[in-house]
Chain A
Amino acid sequence: MHFYESSIITTKDGLHCQVYGNQHPDGRILIKPKYIPTDRISSDSLPYRFISGRKMNRLNLWIDQDKLKQYIDDFTKAYPDYVFRSPLYDKSPLFFVVPKEKIERAYSPAEGLYDLMSIPEKDLDVHLKTVVGLVKFLLQSSLELTDLGITYSTLMGHYSPYRSDINIVVYGKDKFWKLMGFMEKNNHPDLRWKTYEEWEAFYKKRNRHIVHKKENYIENMHRKRSEGFFRNTLFVIFAVEKEDEAWFKWGKEKYKRIGIAKFRGIVKDNKSSVVRPGCYIISDSKFIGGDEICKNLQISRVVFYSRDYCMLAYPDEEIEASGVVEEVTQEDGKKYYRVVIGYFGSYLNQRRDNEYIKLVDD
């Protein structure tokens, strides 16, 4: 069974986990814990939710950093099987995983949507009617129902009508880009895009104000056609790679941490910028600042784990990326260098506010 990014796994320990990549180490699935039972560890700094009959903490990586660090320390002790350090790295970043034997149930976005679309409209509540309406609109593109899925609260069934987002999954990067083309050219009376004000509100969250010039950030985000409102409900469309589309294969590369630095470069290819982890292939990289050891390196990829950076930049645009610089050794021994933004560990130190990808303003 392949575990696609954005699928949901519930575990035998009661955790609800979001699959966090399309490539996984043997015997484990890379995830982000989304809801964590409070019987072993809990934090008043994280929101509480009552889900599946349990009091859960909802993991939020943007809370007070000391509190987050404490929580992750507690998590590591309480759930050691869910923490992974990969031997592919000389100094492995922090990964969260679900060992396969801990899976209680894996929720498939594709199967969920297929089932949902089979239900007569009269038997659906207002939220699900909106989901179905949006999916019917998306199917007016060249995509088929099997290319789509639904995830998160809609899939799990603990959504709140008028409040919860609709999260649509598109299987395949090519399909996703086709859909984006369709969204740019087509309209629907129930569809509207996020306004500048709504993007501004988003900008104010997640510390984006620290690194981005507001107007430019909003301008860049505003051209995205993966987020909007359908019948006044926020929707977000995610791409997930098909197995044969993966831009890297877990285990086929090794990683050596070189330092922390900031680089600029010209985007050559953004095809894989729509998935998680996502990737921009860049050329003409220039060292802007950071650890001197990175100064003479040529960066060829900018990799990110936060969906906020999806489709931020297009070919021939210049981006600036600040993050962890890694030397990547491929199976054939060839090496290249990359900047990585958004490893979980970066949320636990000052890198949380210093890591970013942005379009170069000037």
Chain B
Amino acid sequence: MTYFHEAALVDSVDDIQFKIYSSTHPKGFIIAKPKYVPTDLLDLVGLKKRFLFSKCMYRFNLFNDKEIVEKNLGAIKKKFPYYIYECNKHKNWFLGVPENKVKKFYDTKKGLQELLKVPVEDLDPYLKATRKMIGILGEAGISTGNLGISHSTLLGNYTPGKSDIDILIFGIDNGWKAIKHLEKCKNPSLKWKSREKWARYYKDRVVSKVYTEKEYVANMARKKDDGFIEGNVFSLFCIEDEKESRYDWSAEHEPLGTVKIRAKVKDAYYSVVRPGFYELENSRILEGHKEVPIKRVVTWARPFSLQAKENEDIEACGLLEKVKSEDGEFYQVVIGYFDAYTTDRGEKEYLKALIG
């Protein structure tokens, strides 16, 4: 049975390409975001167009004005209602693909194994850089069997020097091994985004209007899951192994409104995956709800991965939920649900370590 893991791609029967957003899914439905939508399928607005797979495609983007996102999602919902999952347990909706609408799954692990078989001299500079990055991750003790490639690196529609090299690391422990190794790695092929580059990235993909550029840069500049390898941007995606996948789709979520909190991070182990979370202690609600203890901050948005370390104080704004699960009842704050991109909450959501 196919493991539909986070950061893999699937094509739907309607030729929409989706990027999977989670490694655990409700029964029969894969949580995913449309990535490329053929322009002859839908009339969408405010999106860049790309020429891919011999077709004109919209590059679907949630980081847009909420009115635009709302309009585009409305168009999808009207023509393809089956790409929206109304979740009673969350009292919310998710984007994705019903399993029976999947036409093709792009195997990220198999793709890497194929790439590794190609003699280096037959590779272009972009793929040579990919191989070099795989080698660096090997130095961290991660076997190639626990690695994959995705997106344009896998499909071959990359532009050398412009496209990201997207590498997947399977297993949370392996993800941390990679991060720790890169924190001290002195390989001359490896460069990190300067503070200026992070500032530009922030401008291009504004994640929260209440999160200043300065704060963003301070938080991001220490991350080691994005950088440059031989001049190409690389991004590392840590993926839970199938046995590690732990999101509980049977839990009941009761949305209680937008809150702003402060807390101390007790455990950041799962902050390396999507959806990920930070386990908290000493939480305080600053705005939006009466005081309740917040057990964790859950992030569905990649920009908030690896945002804070253990024992650091954080500040976050997101949707407060009361969760009833097999583990009991608790409160959590969630950042980056799909609905956030169509509501005022999206502009307010953030998570920052109180550092610098």
Question: B-contacting residues of A (Cβ < 8 Å)?
Answer: 38, 44, 47-55, 107-108, 111-112, 115-116, 118-120, 123-125, 128, 155-158, 160-161
Contact = CB atoms under 8 A, between A and B. Distances in A.
Given A53-B154, A53-B155, 5 more contacts: A53-B156, A111-B55, A118-B49, A119-B49, A157-B157
A123 B51 CA distance: 9
Given A119-B49, A157-B51, A50 B118 contact: yes
B127 interface: yes
Contacts of A48: 118-119, 122
Contacts of B50: 119, 123
A53 B52 contact: no
Contacts of A156: 53-54
Given A50-B114, A53-B155, A125-B159, A157 B122 contact: no
Given A115-B51, A157-B51, A53 B111 contact: yes
A7 to B, nearest CB: 10
Contact of A123 (B48, B55, B127, B154): B48
Contacts of A44: 119
A90 B117 CA distance: 43
The 8 A-B pairs with the shortest beta carbon distances in the complex, nearest first, are A115-B56, A53-B111, A112-B54, A48-B122, A157-B157, A158-B156, A55-B114, A119-B49
A52 B156 contact: yes
20 contacts: A47-B122, A52-B156, A53-B110, A53-B111, A53-B154, A54-B114, A55-B117, A108-B54, A111-B55, A115-B54, A115-B55, A116-B56, A119-B50, A119-B51, A123-B49, A125-B162, A157-B52, A157-B54, A160-B124, A160-B160
Contact of A120 (B49, B52, B106, B162): B49
B107 to A, nearest CB: 7
B52 to A, nearest CB: 5
Nearest to B156: A158
A98 to B, nearest CB: 17
B55 A50 contact: no
A49 B124 CA distance: 9
B123 interface: yes
A123 B155 CA distance: 20
B53 A50 contact: no
A119 to B, nearest CB: 5
A144 B122 CA distance: 39
A116 B57 CA distance: 10
A116 to B, nearest CB: 5
Interface string B95-119: 0000000000011001100110111
Interface in B150-176: 154-157, 159-160, 162
Contacts of A120: 49
Contact of A124 (B51, B117, B155): B51
Given A123-B48, A157-B156, A157-B157, A50 B56 contact: no
Contacts of B54: 107-108, 111-112, 115, 155-157
A156 B154 CA distance: 14
A123 B49 CA distance: 6
Contacts of A49: 118, 122
Nearest to A114: B56
Contact of B106 (A47, A53, A115): A53
B7 to A, nearest CB: 14
A38 B154 CA distance: 16
